[in-house]
Amino acid sequence: MKKSRFTESQIIGILKQQEAGLKVSELCREHGISQPTFYNWKAKYGGMEVAQLKRIKELEKELAQYKKMYAEESLANRVLKDVIEKKL
């Protein structure tokens, strides 16, 4: 996936400018983005604060760790079940 040249906090700042009353066309021209990009950002980050975004990123990272732990434990459990079945 292509990396954006704007950080998420910059994107939220741009959205805040629009909420403050600037026109979308002016914002897009000023920042060098297209209007569909702006509206995609608005759909994804609209109404969000920087602190909320950081918390969401932390939670996503924590969830990924839990998923990895679950996968490892599930695999170990399956191996143990297979060993027990072979002994019987």
pLDDT at 87: 78
Assessment of whether the complete model's pTM goes beyond 0.75: no
Q: Same domain, yes or no, for 39 and 61?
A: no
From first to last of its 88 residues, the chain has per-residue pLDDT tens of 677 789 988 999 999 999 999 999 999 999 999 999 999 999 999 888 989 989 999 999 999 999 999 999 999 999 999 998 887 7
The number of C-alpha atoms within 13 Å of 39 and in the hemisphere containing its C-beta is 4
Q: Same domain, yes or no, for 38 and 80?
A: no
Using left for φ > 0, alpha for ψ between -120 and 50, and beta otherwise, residue 47 falls in left
Q: Same domain, yes or no, for 1 and 44?
A: yes
Range of the domain at 86: 57-88
pLDDT at 1: 62
Q: Same domain, yes or no, for 4 and 42?
A: yes
Number of domains, the chain: 2
pLDDT at 48: 86
Q: Same domain, yes or no, for 1 and 43?
A: yes
